[in-house]
Structure 1
Amino acid sequence: MVHFIEVVITGLLVGGIYACIALGWAIIYKTSGVVNLATGQLTLVGAYVCFALYTTFGLPFIVALLGMLAIAIGLGILTERLWLRPMIGEPVLSVIMVTVGINFAYQAIVALIWGADTRVFTPPVFPMEPLMLGPIHVSQVFLYSFLVAGIMMAILVYFFQRTRMGLAMQATADDEMAARSMGIAASSVYRWTWVIAFMSCGIAGALLGNINGLNISISYLGLLVLPAVVIGGMNSIPGAVAGGLIIGVLENLGDAYVSRFFPGGVKSTFPFIVMLIVMLWKPYGLWGWVKIERM
C-alpha cells in the first residue's frame, strides 16, 4: 500500500509539470483552433535557454528562470509575427503544417548551438535526498518542481480570469467575430497566445531538464503529453491541467504495475491506450465540449 501511495504521489508531482506543457497545447488550440505540433520544441528551447543562463552564465536558478521567461516572450512574439500571422485566413491544415516547420527549425537551432550531447544542470537546483513523510518517500526534486509549476499555473489562472488580455483571449476563443465587433484586436490575442504557450512549455522544459538531464529527445514530451490534452479536452484549460495530472499518475502506475507483464515502453504507451478509451466514450474529452452552430 505504501508503494502504491508513493507511485501516485510521484505521478501527481510529475503530472503538474506535464500540465504546463498541456496548457501550451490547449491555449493555442482554444484560441485559434490550431493543433500546435511545435509544442515539444517550445519545451526544448525553454529548457536549453534556462540551462545556459544557470550553468553557463552562473545565474541563480530563479533569475535564470525569469530570464528564460523574458526570452520566451520575445520568441513567442517573433514566432507569431514571422510564421503565424501571414497564415491568418488560411486553411487550418496549412497552419498546422507551418507549426511542423517551426518544430524542425527550433530543433535544428538548438542542435546547432548546444549539440546532441546530454547536459546536466550543475550544481543541482533542488535537494536530491528524499523527503520522509512517515513511511512514505517523496522526491524533493519532484516536489519543488511541482511547486514551481503550480505557481506558473496559478499565475495563468489569474491572468485569464482577472486581466483584460486574459478576458479578451477567452472572448476571442468563444466567438472571434463578436470579439472583433467589441474592439478586441485578434492579432494581439494570437500574439499573446503564443507568448503564454512559450512561457508555460519553457517552465516545464526547465524543470524536466533539471530532473532528467537535457538532450534533444526532451522535445518528444510535446507528443507524450498529447493524451493529457485529449483526455482533458482540447478546448478546456482546466481540462488540460487535470489531464496532465492524470497522465502523470497513469505513467507511473503503468511503469510500476503493468510493465512487469508487458515490458518495453508501457510507461509511454499506457496513457495513449487510456486516451483511446476515453475518446470512444467522450470524443471531446472529459472537460471539453463541442460548439454547436445554428444555420
Structure 2
Amino acid sequence: PGGIAGHTQIQGKELSYNNIADADAAWECVKTLDEPACVIVKHANPCGAAVGDSLLEAYERAFATDPASAFGGIVAFNRGLDAPAAAAVSKQFVEVVIAPEFDTEARKVFAAKPNVRVLSASLARAAQTYDLKRIGGGLLVQSPDARNVQSSDLRTLTRLKPTRAQIADLLFAWRVAKYVKSNAIVFCARGRTLGIGAGQTSRIDAARVAVLKAQNAGLSLAGSVVASDAFFPFRDGVDAVAQAGAKAVIQPGGSMRDDEVITAANELGLAMVFTGVRHFRH
C-alpha cells in the first residue's frame, strides 16, 4: 500500500520506464516527511526537497535548491495539491507531478498542459518487504532501508552539541540523504536542502559537488547542517563542509578513522552526531 505501482494517472502522456523509476524515488522520499513537503527528483536523485507552511512554500524552497536540475524533473507532494502550488509547478517544464490528490482548481491548471503526467497515489507508509536489484541472470534481494532515525537514536561525539533547531535539520537532511545515491552529501537549513552531492565515487567529491551546486544556485551554506549517507573515511570531507559554512554534521560512524574525524570536528567547531546505521543507496 502506498507504493507508486498503485498510482492513478489523471492525465498526461504514457509513463516511460524512467518516469516510473524516478517517480518511485520522489514518492518514497516525500512520504518520509511529516510536514507539508515537496521533493523534486531528476535521474533517480533528489535535486531539491523542502517542507513549508504550505505546499507552495515547500515547492518554491525545493525548486530553489537546483533550478537547472529541476528542469524536466519529477515533483512529488505529501498533501493534496491546491491551485497555488499547481500554478507554480506549471510554470516549469516537468515530466510528472505526484500527490495524494488534486483539487478541482489544481486539475484545471494542469489541464492546460495535457502532456504533463499527473498521478495520484496513496500516502500509506507501509515498507516494501524486499529491496530488489536486477543483475545479469538474476536478482539481488535485501531488506529495505526502512528505518527513520529519531532524535533519541543520535549519539553526540563532539564537545559541541547540536541545538534543537540543528537536530531538526539534521534529521531532515538524513531522510533526504536516504534517497540520494552514494556517495551522498546533503546540506540543509531551516527545513530545506541547499546543496546535494549525489553519486560520486569519493565522499570528498560529493562534498565538493554539493558546495558547487549551492554556489550555482546562489545559496549560502553559512550555518547549515550536513548529512553524509555513510561514514567519512578521512577528515578531508569534514574539512570541506566546515570550510563551506556547515556547523553540524550527521553521519553513521563506523570508520577506522572515526577518532580522526571527531578530532577534526572539534578543531573546526562542529557538532557531530552518529546514527549507527548507514544508507549507501545504489
Same fold (TM over 0.5): no
Higher relative contact order, chain-length normalized (CA < 8 Å, sep 6+):
1
Greater share of residues in helix: 1
TM-score between the two structures when normalised by the length of structure 1: 0.22
TM-score between the two structures when normalised by the length of structure 2: 0.22
